[in-house]
Amino acid sequence: MSPPPRDAGPGGPSLGVIIPAYNEEATIGRVLRRVLLQECVQQVIVVDDCSTDRTLEIAQGSARDDRVTVRRHASNQGKGAAVRTGLNEITAPIVIIQDADLEYDPAEYAKMIGPILEGRADAVYGVRGFLSHTSYSYWFVLGNRLVTTATNVLFNCYIQDMETGFKAMRTELMRRLMLRGNHFNIEPEITGRLMRLGYRIHEVPITYYARSRAEGKKLTWRDGVTALFVLLRIRLSSKRRLFGGVDTYHAQRLEALASAPRIPELPGEHVVEVRSGRSEGSG
């Protein structure tokens, strides 16, 4: 049984980082160094998905830091399986998925977890603007927009980047999603299950450094097609089938989110929100 998330207290380290890795010897060392520089990081779980290069050896070299745990799959099982393996060992109250390449910057963790720590969100996605995106193709960007649009239509929501690999949320929430995907289908599965439970995803802009196929990019158009099927299946499935029944946790969390202030108030500040022609003062 997984240990319960452990809150380090206000202002202290509160983030658990899951790093799925497969044949990333060129970047895993630099990623780990950057991750461990972030003050909010409480623990790091590296899951080597049966790499055939030096990924495991390099990751184990970082295990001298007592925040780092390295696990290895005996056979290649896919990103989703690696995420679930890492999730089993997370004790931090918040968890983020960090790819083992250099596309996503750990320096932006504080931006990602800020809305969660403030009580304004339970799930935060980092939105790639693709404005400085130079390494990948037009079709990659178009495919990303297609599956994101499908998400918005199916779940009557508005998000900008469903396939982002930068997803942070409360650890207990991620466990209660009961994820099953073994490969890149873990991305649409996370989003679909969050939407089916009634959560609204908070998005923040992030920097994104795309790498090319030659540099090790593994996502293909087939993963986009799979994502569409995953989203449709989740939308059409009953909550009981997806979650084995819905417990009171989600109702309580959604109620807490609904009552959270939309605009954080600073000490001594007077906030006025204007709605439908009338003003409401607080403070």
Cβ count within 10 A of residue 81: 21
Type of residue at 168:
A
Q: How many alpha carbons fall within 13 Å on the CB side of residue 83? A: 28
Residue type, 35: V
The tens digit of pLDDT for each residue in 149-183 reads 999 999 999 999 998 999 999 999 999 999 999 98
**Structure confidence by residue, pLDDT tens digits, 189-247:** 999 999 999 999 999 999 887 655 555 455 676 877 899 999 999 999 999 899 988 78
Residue ranges and CATH numbers for the domains of the chain are 15-238 (3.90.550.10)
- Contact predicate 92/42, CB 8 Å: yes
What is the reported pLDDT for 81? Answer: 97
pTM: 0.84
| pLDDT > 70: percent of the chain | 81
Cβ neighbours for 120, distance < 8 A, ≥ 6 positions apart: 202, 257, 260, 261, 262, 264
